[in-house]
Structure 1
Amino acid sequence: MSTVRIHRRSAAHRERGVATILVLLLLGLVVGATVFTMTGSLRGTQQRQLTVHAATAAQGAAWRGVETIRTALLELPEDRYERWANGEGWNRRDAVPATPAAAAAAAASTEPYACQGTPVRGEIAISGADAIAVPRATISEVCRLSGASTYRVTAQVTGRASEGTSATTSTVEAVYVVALPGAAAPPGGGAATLGAINIYRDLDISGGIAFTGENAVINVDGNVRLDNASITGIDTLRATGNVTIGSGIRVNTVESDGDVVLRGSSGVSQVRAKGNVRVEGGARPMSIRSDGSVTFAGGNGDVVEAKGDVMVTAGGVNISAISTQGSVRWTGSGGGAGSIRANVDIDYGGANRNPTTLVAGRNISISAGATSAHAGGRVQLSGWGHTGQVRAGGDVVLLGSASAGSITSRGNVRLEGSGAAEAVFASGSLYVSGWQGVGTGTIGGTLQRGQTGNNGIRVTVQRGYQAGVQTPAAVAVPLLAAIDIPRVRVDAYPLREAANYRFEIINGRIQVTVAHVQGIPAGTYVLGERMANNTRQPDWLCRPQDMSGTLCTRPVATICQGFSPQNSCFAHANGKWTVNGGSMARGIAWFDGNLEVANGTYVNTFIATGNISTAGAHRTMAPNWAGYASTCTNAPVTGGANANFAQLIPTNLCDTASRTLLESTLANAAYIAGGYRPNGAYGGGLIDLGASTVASGNVVAGDNLATGGSTRIDGSIIVAAQSGATGQARISGSTTINQTTGDIAFDPDALPCIGSSCGGAGTAPPTGSPEATVLWTRYR
C-alpha cells in the first residue's frame, strides 16, 4: 500500500508541538501506481518524440491526483482543519494573522463558499504520490466556511508524463469543500450552487445564445440539447440526463449522468459522463472520462479514460492517450494514438505516430505498426507496418508484411508472412515460414524453418529458457460521482407579505394592499379615478369608503405612470393582469393570477401566482440590480423615463439613513412565477419572455421557461418544473445572459427564502461522516 504524506516545509518560525508529517493512507494507490507507467525502453530520437503526447498525458495524471487528494483529505484527523485555519502547521506566505473562530463567525458572508474571515495561505507539501505520476502537490490555502465544521481547501496538483529524458508537466488548481461529521452544508446543498441557468426539466437551446462573464454554469435535472445555434461563454454544463451538443457551440466542461454526444465542430474541452460518449464530425475534446464506452465516429481527442470499451470507427482520428478498463477497437485508418492502455484487448488499425505505445491485459492486434506493444496474452502483427518492440505473455504472430524489432514472448513466436524480426526471445518455439531473417535471440523450444535453407535465423536454442515478460499493470479509472442538483422550491404565496404592492381581485374589483412604503399609509386600497383639469385620471389608490362609482373623492397616491395621465397602467380580465405604461412605483409587486408586463421600464420584482409573460419594448430591473439611487431616490434609469414616485420609498429595501439597500435576496429577482394553491396543487410557473425583453435580475420560473426574439437576461435562470408536466424549457432566438452587470447589491447566485425552506436557512442536514467535494478547478 503506497503512502501519501501531507506536511509543511521547514520554516524559520515553527509552532512548537505541531507535527510536520501527516500520514494519509490512500486506497487504491497500488493500482493507480501503474496507470501512466510506460512500457519498454525507447532510445535515441524516440525519446524526443514522446513530447508530442506527453502534455495531455500529464493533464490526465494531474486530474487523477486531484481525485486522489480528495480521498486523502477524508483520512485526516478532524482537528487538523481547524488548526490549519488558525494558522498552525504552515510555511506562511501572507503577513495577515489567521482570523479567530469567533471573529470568523461574526463575519458570516452571504456567499455559501466565501471564507469566513481571512484565509490562511502558505504551503503544506503532499508527498508519496509519485507512484501515480504526481511529483508535486501542495495545499496553498485553508479557510472556514459559514457552516459549522466546514472548510475550503485549495491545492495545486502537478502531473508528469515522461519517458527517458523527455518530460512534460501540467498543473491543476483544485478547490475542495470539506464537511466534517456534524457539519451543516452551505446554502444550496454541496457544490451545486446556482448557475447561470438552473433547469429541473429537459432543456433545448437554439439560436444565438451568448453568456457574458466568467464561469457561467448550467445545471439541468434532465436531458440537454444544444444545437442549431451559436452558443458561447458556457464554462460548465451539468446534467442528470443525456447531453447533445452540436456544431458551433463552445462549452468548457460537460458533466452528465447519462450519455454525451458531440457533433460537428462543437468546442468542448472536457467531458465527464456516467454513460457513453460519442464524438462525431470535427469535435475535439481535450479530455474525456466515461463510466461507459467512448466512440469516435469522427473528430479527435487528447486524453480518454473509460470504464467501458473505446471504439474508433472513423478515419483520420488522432488521440493522444487512451486508458480503459475494457477493450479498444480501432478500425478507422489515417489517424493514430500516442498511447493506449486497456485491461482487455486492443485491436489497433491506426497509424504509428512515433511513438504509439500499446499495453493490454489480454491480446493485441496491430495492422499498421506501432512503437511498442505489451500484452498479457497474444500479440498479432498484420498488414504492412513495423512494430519496434513486442512483449507478450502468450504467442506472437506476424502476418502479411508486418515486421518487428525486438520480440519477447512467454509463448511461441510465428513469422508467417514476409516480415522479419530483429530479435526474438521466447520461452516457446520459433517458426519462420519463409526467408525472413531474425537477427538474434534465444528460445526455449524448437526452431522450425519453413525453408530449410534459410540461414538468416540467428537464434540460440536453450532448453528451459524463460523469457522475462511482466504482467501489464491493470488500468483503474475512478468511478464518477453522480451529479447532485438539489431541488429548489418556487412558491409565490408565502412572498405576498413581503410585497410593497399586492394586487388581487376582491368582489370583482381590483384591490391593492400597500405595505412597507414611505409616502403611503399601509393598508388596503382600490383603484379609482381622480378628477383633475376636467379629466379623469385612472389608477389612483383610494380607500374603499372614498369611492363614488369609479371616481375617488379623496385619492391617496398614484403608483402608475401611464403613457399619458388619462391612460391606465393596470388591467385585469379572465384571470390575467396586464401592466402596460411608462413605469410604476419601485419595489416588490405581487399579483394573484397570471401577469403580462408589456411596454415600459420598471424597477420592480414582479411576483405572480400564475404565469408571467412580457411583450413590447419592455425592461424590468430588479431593485438590487438597479441599486439604491434608482430604487430609493427615484433617480433616472438608463433607457427609461423618470416617473414621479420620488415620495414613495420601499422601506423594506431602502436604508435612507445610510443611503444603502437593505439585504434582500428577494430583490435580486426580476420575475418569480408559480405557487402552491390552497388545495395543494401547483399552478402557473411559466415565464415567457417575448422579443425585445430586457430582464435585469434573476428569472425564477416555478414550472417552465420560453424565450425568443432579442432577449437579454442580466442574472440567473431557474426553471423548477414543479407542476409535474413534461416538456422542454426552450431558450431560443437571440438571447444574451450576463451575470457581470448591476449594482454591487445584486447577487445572481442568491435565492430568496421561499416557503418551508425559510426555517432552515437553506442548509442541508448535518453530515454523519466526512465529505470532501471538488468545488472548482482550473489549469495553472
Structure 2
Amino acid sequence: MSRTTYSPPRHQRGIATLLIVLVLGLAVSVTVAATLYSLRGAQSQQLTTHSATAAQAAAWRGVEALRQYLVAVDSTVWPGWVGNDTKPVAGLAALGVSRAQLTSVQAVGSDHYRVSAQVTGQSGVGTALTTATVEVVYDVMPGNGLPGTPPVCHGMPNAPVVFNGDVRLDGAGTQVVDDKYDYENIVVSGKLTITAGGSGKVSGCAKGTVNVSGGDLADNGHLHSEDDLVIGGMNFPAGARLWAKNITFNGGSGGPVGRAWAGAYDTVVYADGVAVGEAKVGGTLIGDTVTGGTVTGGTPWTRGTVLPSGLAKVKVTFTEGKGSADEVAFLLNLPALDLRTALDAGTGELRGAAAVMEQLSGQAQPAFRNAVLTFRSAAIFGGAITQGSGATTHINDAWGWNLSFGSDGRSYDNVRAAGSLAIQYKGVKIGEFAGGGSIWAQSGSAAGTDFPAVRGRTAGNRYFGAGKQLMNTALQPAGFAVQDGQSSLSPGLPGLPYCDVRINYIDADAYRELSNYLFDSNNGRPQLTIRNVTRADGVVIGDAVGTVYPLLDPDPEQLKVLEDLFACGSWAGADKGCRAMSGNGKWNLQPQKTPAGVFWFDASLNVRAASAIVGSLIVRGDLALIDAGGSKLLEAPNFAGAGKVCGGRYIPTNLCASRSELVTWTDAEGKPHTGAPIGNAAVISTGGMDAQGWTSIRGSVVLGKRVTVSGSKVNIEGSLSVGNNEFSKIDIGASGLKVETPQDWKNLGQLPFCSKGVESTPSVQATASVQWSRYL
C-alpha cells in the first residue's frame, strides 16, 4: 500500500528560508559538510583551473559545499526565523575552510534568488599559514527537500539505568542514586516487577505494567507507567509520586503519597485542520466544543477539543501505518513549551510545536512539524484509581477519571475526578473535591449520618447508601458539603507519562579503531594488536595502524613486551596469561597486571584479575567477571583519571593529551569536555554480563542482552544499559545492584554511541549553480 503523507498548502518561498538553510544547515556539523562535499563535472574543472595553492583548493571546496546545501532548501523549514546576512557559517573546518560568510540574498524574478558569499580556505600552521578568499555568486531555484542531520558519536543516556525488557527486581539491595540529576532513575521498555526487601530503593518508569509487592521508593521518588500500576505492598516515603494509565492500591503504607494520577484523553490529532494521527493527551476540555458525555445531560465530558497541559511529553502516532514497521511517530515535549504564548485557550490551537518536536520513527513529515495542531478527544484512556482496604496510606493529590476509595480513615487533600468518585467508609476526609460526574457516599444513611467529610463541587449527581440512592437537596449531612449540578465543571485529566526507553544498538566492530589492545585471531591463531600506545620513554610499541603480537609464538622481543604488559610468564600452562587466551571460542584473561587503555575482544571473555583493571572492555559476545581472589575493581579510563591512565609505563595516546592530562573535545553545541567518550565506558558487550563477586565497576556498563549478579552486590558508578540489542528478560537476584551517577556527570556521562543521522533530501526541482567568482 502506498503511503499518503500530510502536505498542507505550500507556502511562498522567501529570502529568510535561503538564509536559514545556509546558516543553520552548514552549522549542523563537520560530518554533514564533509559528506555532502563532492566535486563533479564543471565544479571539478573549476577547482583544477583556479586553485594554485592548497588554501585556494580549500576555498573552492567550501564553494562547492555551499552549492550542495542550497539544493536542500525547503520553504517550510524553520519558518519565521530572521537571520543576519553577514552571520558567519561554521562547520566546514574538515574541508580546510576557516570562514564562510553570506553577503547578500536577492530575489530574481518569481522563483530564483541571487546569493552572494565569501569563502576563505586555509592551509598550514603558524608562520607557514596561508589563506585564500573566493567571492562567489550563486543562482538558486529553491526546492522542497530537507537538509541532513549528522551522525553524533557521543550522547548522554536517557537514565542511569535503562532496561530493554521485562524486569524483576528481587535484590534487597537494589538502589539507583542520582539525587543531583533531574531525570528518571530506572526506565523499562516492558513490565517491571519489584519484590525487593526494605533496603532496596528505586524510582523510575515503565512502558508496561508495574507490579510492586515490596521494597521502597527512593526519597522523593516516583513510579510511572504507560500501562497499569498495581501496589501490593510498599513503604512510601513522604511525597512519593505515582502516575499511570490506572492505579490500584491493594497494599502500601507510609507516605503520605504526594500524588496519584491516572488517565488521559484519547485524541485525534489535527494538523492545519487535517486529521493525521492519534495521541494520549492530558488537559481539560473546552466547554464550547464538548459534544456530549457518557450519561444524559452531557456529564461527565468525554468528547471535545482538549486544551493540553504541559505536564507530560506526548507521543503522536500517524494514523496510516500505525503498528507497522514503517510507523511514523513524533514526540512533543510540551513541558518545554511556553503554553501561555503557544496555546490559544479559546480554540485549543497549538503553535510553535516544531521547537519541542522530535521525530521518533518513520519518514520525514516536514509540514507536520510546522503545522497548527489541535487535539480532539474521542474517548477516555484509563483513569481508574482504586484504593483497597489493605492500603494504609494518605494521598495528597488524587486525580483521574473514576476514583474508588475503599480504605477507612484515610485523608486526601485534593481530589479531582473527571468521571466519578465512590467512597466506601465514613472515616474518609477530603479537603477539596472537584468532580466532572457523580459522587457516591456508600456509607451514608437517609438520616444524614455516617457520611465522609468532603468539601467541593461536582457536575453530576450525589448518591448515598449501598443501594446508590439519589440524594435530594433536603438531605444535607454534616461535613458532606458537596454542591452538585455544577454546569461546565470538569477537572480534566493528567495525561499519560511518557517513558523514554530509546536505546543504541551495540556493534562491537564500531569500536575496533578506538582500541589500544585488540585481541582477535588470524586463521585460528590468537593475536594481540597494539594500537596508539607509547612507552613512557617515548618508544612506540603500537602506532595508529597497529603492531601485531602473536600470542602462541612471540619472538623474544615481542614476549618481553607482553610480559611487561601482562606479566605473562608468572603462570605455568598454555591456557593462562596472554600467550594463549583463546579456548572453547572464548578469551580467558588472567593477568597479574594490565596496562591502562581500551581492550577489544572478538569473542566472549572471562576475566579473572589479580589486580584492578583500568580500562574499557569491549566484547563481541558475553562478559564474565569471575572472582579470582585479588582486586574486584574495574575502572574506566576517565573515571580512573589522568594519573593512572597517562602517568604509567605505557600511555594510550588516543586517550591522553600529555602525561598528566586526558584529551579534551567540544560537542556540537560548543561545550567542552574532558576525556574521550570511549573512556567513560567500563564495559560494552554485545552479549550479557555476569558479575560474580565483583564489587565495584567505575564507569558505565552497556550490554546487548542480559545482566546477572551473584555473590556480593555490584556497585556501578556511572550508568547501566541492558538489552540494547534485543528485548530481554532481566532478573536481578538477591545480591542486588547499586548504580550511582558520578559528580562530574557532564563529562563522565557521555557515551560513545553514533547515531545514523539523516541524509539530505534535495528536491529534483532545486538547482544551485555558480554564476560568477573571483579571488579577493
The TM tier, using the shorter chain, reads: 0.5 to 0.7
Change (3 A) 1:224 1:182: farther
| Partner of residue 361 from structure 1, selected from 449, 459, 463 | 459
Aligned residue among 370, 375, 379 for 2:471 = 379
Please give the alpha-carbon distance, in whole angstroms, between the structure 2 residues aligned to 1:101 and 1:589: 45
Residues 690/734 of structure 1: CA separation in 2 closer, same or farther (3 Å cut): same
Q: Equivalents in 2 of 1:202, 1:189: separation in Å?
A: 27
Q: Which residue of 1 aligns with 2:242?
A: 271
Written as runs of structure 1 = structure 2, the 5 A alignment for 1:93-492 is 193-205=157-169, 206-214=171-179, 215=181, 217-230=185-198, 234=202, 236-251=203-218, 252-262=221-231, 263-267=233-237, 269-278=240-249, 280-283=251-254, 284-291=256-263, 292-297=383-388, 298-349=391-442, 356-366=454-464, 378-379=470-471, 385-387=477-479, 389=481, 391-393=483-485, 470-471=486-487, 473-480=489-496, 482-492=498-508
Equivalents in 1 of 2:626, 2:527: separation in Å?
Answer: 24
- Could you tell me which residue of structure 1 aligns to residue 519 of structure 2? 503
Question: SS in structure 2 opposite 1:558?
Answer: helix
Structure 1 segment 561-572 matched on structure 2, within 5 A = 561-562=566-567, 565-566=570-571, 568-570=576-578, 571-572=581-582
Give the aligned residue type for 2:735.
G
2:747 paired with 1:656:
no
**Distance in 2 of aligned mates of 1:350 and 1:622:** 62
Question: Identical aligned pairs, as a percentage?
Answer: 21
C-alpha contact 2:249 2:387 (8 A) present in aligned 1: yes
TM-score of the superposed pair, with normalisation by structure 1: 0.53
Alpha-carbon offset, residue 389 of structure 1: 5.0
Aligned 8 A contact 1:365 1:381 in 2: no
Task: Decide whether the 8 Å contact of 2:621 with 2:685 is kept in 1.
Answer: yes
Q: 1:241 to 1:231 in 2, by over 3 A?
A: farther
Distance change >3 Å, CA 553–CA 309, structure 1 → 2:
closer
Deviations 1:462-495 (A, max 9, x none): xxxxxxxx53622212423533322311111221
Q: Could you tell me how far 1:260 is from its partner in structure 2?
A: 1.2
Cα distance per residue 1:145-169 (max 9 Å; x no partner) = xxxxxxxxxxxxxxxxxxxxxxxxx
Q: Flag the structure with larger Rg.
A: 1
Q: Secondary structure at the match of 2:551?
A: strand
The CA deviation at 1:218 is 1.4
Distance 1:558 1:475 in 2: 73
* 1:625 and 1:746 in contact (8 A); partners too: no
1:73-104 CA distances to partner (integer Å, 9 max, x unpaired)?
xxx99669x99xxxxxxxxxxxxxxxx99799
Aligned mate of 1:604, from 609, 615, 618: 615
Decide whether aligned partners of structure 1 residues 584 and 335 sit closer, same or farther in structure 2, where only a CA change above 3 A counts.
same
* Alpha-carbon shift at residue 356 of structure 1 (Å): 2.2
Deviation track 1:295-322 (CA, whole Å, cap 9, x = no partner) reads 1111334344444311112222222211
What is the alpha-carbon distance in structure 2 between the residues aligned to residue 187 and residue 269 of structure 1? 36
Residue deviations 1:644-689 (CA, integer Å, cap 9, x gap): xx0x211111111773334421111111111xxxxxxxxxx11111
Of structures 1 and 2, the one scoring higher in RCO (CA 8 A, sep 6+) is: 2
Q: CA RMSD in A?
A: 4.1
Aligned residues of 1:624 and 1:746 also touching (Cα < 8 A): no
**Structure 1 572/353 Cα, relative in aligned 2: closer, same or farther at 3 Å?**
farther
Work out whether residues 254 and 270 of structure 1, in 8 Å CA contact, stay in contact via their aligned partners in 2: yes
Compute the displacement of 1:285 (Å). Answer: 1.7
CA contact (8 A) 1:714 1:737 kept: yes
Q: Which amino acid aligns with 1:253?
A: H
Deviations 1:246-265 (A, max 9, x none): 44412312221011123232
CA distance in 2, matches of 1:379, 1:483: 43
State TM-score, norm by structure 2.
0.53
Q: Secondary structure at the match of 2:173?
A: strand
Q: Which runs of 5+ in 1 are unaligned?
A: 1-75, 84-99, 107-180, 369-374, 394-469, 530-541, 635-645, 675-684, 767-780
Q: Find the partner of 1:717 among 717, 720, 727.
A: 720
Q: Deviations over 1:114-147 (max 9, x none)?
A: xxxxxxxxxxxxxxxxxxxxxxxxxxxxxxxxxx
2:154–2:752 contact (8 Å) kept in structure 1: no
State the SS of the aligned residue for 1:477. Answer: coil
| CA contact 2:152–2:753 (8 Å) conserved in 1 | no
2: CA distance, partners of 1:696 / 1:661: 19
Alignment partners' CA distance in 2, 1:260 and 1:289: 11
Q: Deviations over 1:26-78 (max 9, x none)?
A: xxxxxxxxxxxxxxxxxxxxxxxxxxxxxxxxxxxxxxxxxxxxxxxxxx996
Aligned length: 467
CA shift for structure 1 position 383? 11
In the alignment, what sits opposite 2:325? none
Contact 2:503 2:724 (8 Å CA) reproduced = no
* Structure 1 residue 621: Cα displacement: 0.4
Residue of structure 1 in register with 2:639 after alignment:
625
**What SS is found at the alignment partner of 1:585?**
coil
The question of whether the paired residues in 2 share the 8 Å contact of 1:201 and 1:727 is answered with yes
Write the letter of the residue equivalent to 2:729. G
Match of 1:583 among 569, 572, 593: 593
Contact 1:504 1:510 in 2 (8 A): yes
Q: Which residue of 2 aligns with 1:446?
A: none
